[in-house]
Structure 1
């Protein structure tokens, strides 16, 4: 497929098509999961298109650029995901035929796209992420930051050989995947220096009982941002770009101001004073996107609509431009969610013995079904599950159900306090001992994990990984 340079544009696109199963029949629980990156409103918009008995599906999705690269995950084989190009205002038709092993046998797509780009894009990205050189982990916690940054650049260059040597995908997609992978690796391993070095110490040191003496970094550490040339509009096609923007806005060392009711030129002036020497420029479209993302931080993290002053500032600065249209569209969606959001209640339970924590929480909600969510601010599947469940959760707002969210010190306190504003309900910030006891006692190895108690305070279900809205609603309704 030809992947042109994207331009910011508010609109919608239609995805339609047909799923052809090996036996020719489609049962009533086949669907298509769709992920659309929204680089301006700073979120991954999730959609589900149901497939009818004849295999047909159709859905309209919001897009924020004239062309968008999106992920499609058919339920017949969700591991075999497709990278698809959408055109703002256009229709993309995809017919997917499966063989008896539920591998994709044939794809027909209109407008025409490079089939290898569609089927191999995510696969090649996955290979770069999962690649291991076989070298023994190297101690980095006691090296200079310059050494570490060069080490990270070397790892990126080494893994980019995978996409460089692929003979099937297009040159245009190679450029995008290369940018996206560089963003991914730096976001995962370089942004949070202390977290990475703590892990590196554990992986390379026999005595794991000690805590490493990790050097403190300052703003100058983030000079690696110059490597990216963020004014390149092709970043709008990178899945990880909006995560990096979020990381920059939330970074405690960079300490960018919250946009609040500030007028946009004043906010941008203060941001450029902090960032310009680190990113390597002091003007360009990047700063426009960052300002939009600063509003998106409030809309997404706090699920808090724009104030009258913020609306005025956006209209004065962007007039009737595309960024203003996108932000106002997102604000309308958030205003609907905000009507049903329950207030945040933060509970201090730090003095309760570890083996009594869950018992204490459940006892507080006697006579109610209690749904306990174990999560963390850094856990993307946890946050995705919460976003997916937001609307379904509203169905229980007047019923005898308590939603309880617990995390521990692995979630930075300041970031946790910001995120829970958008979640609502009851929250607990546990000690390490309390968290470890719960994970061990209930046999949980991963998060998100969930505990569901009936009105009598009896545990009826343990779940690891979010099972989907319908399953959760079914179980809760069964207990009411």
Structure 2
């Protein structure tokens, strides 16, 4: 009898466990959420829905001719989105953008009016939602930016406008009776980010000492990374605590210590300090090899204290690659792809000068240089100089279309798996590089084809 009872008890426990598991699965199951409404735009616009945290390109949904929209998303937990009304042809002003917190099963409806002067207005016929506080604050932020511009020379009014960033968030939270903690916290965080964006960049405004002590605990959130200027604002704020240290690596060490003293959110700390590491790498100039090797060791020690492994390896790789940007360095032994998809190498041109144009199909300044580049190619076609155009396009079809459209000839290459742009620490295009016949770097930033210097330089060679 005891054996039977124990068996029955085990069955009950297993059945209960199965029920709980089923309940948890159901609870985590995605639900359909609707985001509907209307805005006074036309079907020349789309509504874009992007995950606010990862900022990856979101889904786009067409607006009807009357500006109405109906979006359905499947989510299993409350999710932050960035909502944008974007012109299809990209030839007119962005309609509007704002954050939104959406919960599984929500049925949201927003009736909106867009105006250049007042930005967004949530009309009374909208379905009641605490998210309206976020939409109205987006409008307030946009208008206040213009207001600040006109009051720059009026210290008292200027300070009043800066402080309104904080007071308006509280006012809207009360107006819309915001009870959702996530929305309330985000609205507060947003207000302080706006406050810092002006307060830390203005010479005529000083953050009150007592408030400066409170700010770190208020903005110590990974959600600060959702703001396009969040990291920049924290950087400026932290800089006010630092000594006037001129050595860049010592300054980064000082900043790292201060960040860890004031903040607990590792993702936030890493994002802020990463910008300083990246700035150090991009601005570094190799004076001599011994000093460079010494700085490699110093950087390794400093990076060992950072928590983000991917960041550490990326920064270290980019810094060591700077050796390729130093005059006299060898052409990297990497392979590119030509327009036919075959492997090609810069080493094939040994014995000739090599003038490289790093460009992309979407880069307007790059396209403007192409006619001048053609003229150079014609003038020096019988000389010991080779012209190579290397595309940095991610979309290879766009590159091929542009090559055909512009009727480009000669050495039309793309990066392939070379990572040449990373090896050469290229931070902007167009970028022109010149190698000697011996395969040594002559100029990391050679003159543009449109410049007066380029022909003088070429003519100085024994071509």
Q: Using CA pairs under 8 Å that are at least 6 residues apart, name the structure with larger relative contact order, 1 or 2.
A: 1
Normalising by structure 2, we get a TM-score of 0.40
Please tell me whether Structure 1 or Structure 2 has the larger radius of gyration of its CA atoms.
2
